[in-house]
Structure 1
Amino acid sequence: MSSPERVRQLHKQLARVEQALVEREKLEHQRQEIETKYEALKEELHEGIRRLHSFKDPHSTERKELAEKTERLQLQVSELSGIKGDIDHQLDNLEEDFEALQQQLRGHLVAEIIELHPNARPSWEAIQQSMKEIGEGHAHIRKGIDALQEVLTPMQTAMEARRTQRRRGLMNIIFGRNPTVVIAGYLDKAHQAAKSGYALNFEQRPAHLRTHHSAVNLSGLHEIFFKITQACEARDALKTLDTVFASLTKETEAMYETLQLDLAMVEGELDEIEAETRDWMQRYTDQVQA
């Protein structure tokens, strides 16, 4: 049988778990920032060491200055490595599956509240239905973005290789890999990704997008994927890099940016419904305590 004391205990346990989730998210964000800085400094350090070995005069002023800079970089890299280790240790102590525990505690808490306040069931079910529908809309847009990214990355890389080819001309072939071969490889990746994207179902939108976001329509992805597939399969594909593929890359980038805005909008709604969920649990926990 449910009791006010049981509700209070569950609510406190849930608060501790959710605080741990917040702390872990902060640590993961901090870890990513440190990792990015660490990799950049390490690359700069390796380049400095390489340049040190290239000096013909070991006593030159320029080499001395570079040696001092390299020494400072080594200290910074070492310091960041230590910070990364500390954060990893903290994350290891938070390895517990807090997401699953959070859902379990929420389920128990809601069941206890509804047993004490049966009239609370309709409002809770309405919140959960909204969360389900918004989540489906979010997943639909996320799927579109991921599929588009798989196509866009090799296309952008191919176009960058094409720009390099035009700048350097025959120097590419003399001193490096044949750029045409490189570009063809990236176009093949884009081709395979476009075919996979075209096979996905973007025609039927989830209920939340149909009702609340009529402008969010991913059906246009099929057209983009189809056009990219056709362009890649054309006999003269490599000859149309500066025309057809340049245009398709811009079109794909525009669609990608639009979907990112759509995703941010729906993520805002997920945050709102999550806040509503927390408010509901807090409100009825307070009523039990009164």
Structure 2
Amino acid sequence: MTGPDVVGRQPGVAGLLGLGSRRLAGTGSPTPAADARVLLCHALDTEPSRLILAPPPDPEQVSRYRELIAARAAGTPVQYLTGEAWFRSERIEVGPGVFIPRPETELLVGEAVAEAAARVAAGESPTVIDLCTGSGAMAAALAREVPGARVHAVEADPDALVWARRNLAGCAVTLHEGDAVRLPEGMDGLVDIVMANPPYLPLTGGEPASRQVVETEPGAALFSGEDGLDLLRDLVPHAAALLRRGGLFCFEHDPSQEASAPGLLAADGRWEQIEDHRDLAGRSRYVTARRS
């Protein structure tokens, strides 16, 4: 990382931010200034709101920051470099081998949170299942936001399970290791809410995934057959079996599946109030439906 700074002394916060931003902008990063700021906060072990008040970085911190910027310029996600991602109000630990939770998915979880909270307010103790939990972000968020809910999470991938165990430690969540289309056993007809952010990217067509995502995040959490619906074809009947009458099912999908994803529920014949929803960018993103 090269560039002009104050000659004759260690670069300060402003100088490092400028250098980092310019380096990342030169690699085509969509958010170079924001990435540089997050990585500098991480190198200095300070909160973003206190960065301007941070003392001058020492040589070790500067060296660490330069390493982080170089890794980001090479394509490593910021979240893997800092070891964390924020999801709703949860700090989620992430790293190689697990899918990084996205802001779009917060809307889906919001639907489940509202449903669970309404049931708790009505005197119930709703049972919620998060299929394909990955890092555990969705299950952790719901468990903390709705303490009266009984939350279960299911994950099969051993690499993702490492992170799920970390993030769900201390949460009121029961983690099941195994196939999302078979677990949890013995709960058919007893569940109030099923939520899922399964792999859904099509191998051909669909919304193009960035090269960084494809090269750094686990393919098993991204792709699901030619049209991206292979796993969802199995999750729809499994969710129908798990849910009691009137139970809520919500799942995320690719924008290209605006018609085909809800169509899976319509074809199954056990669903009503099937509704597709848009994300913050106005793209078709997730479906909600009730068990009829």
- Per the TM superposition, whether the score is higher than 0.5 is no
Structure number with the higher strand fraction is: 2
Q: Which protein has greater RCO, CA pairs closer than 8 Å, 6+ apart? A: 1
Question: Which TM-score applies when normalising by structure 2?
Answer: 0.22
Structure number with the higher helix fraction is: 1
Question: Which TM-score applies when normalising by structure 1?
Answer: 0.22
Larger Rg: 1
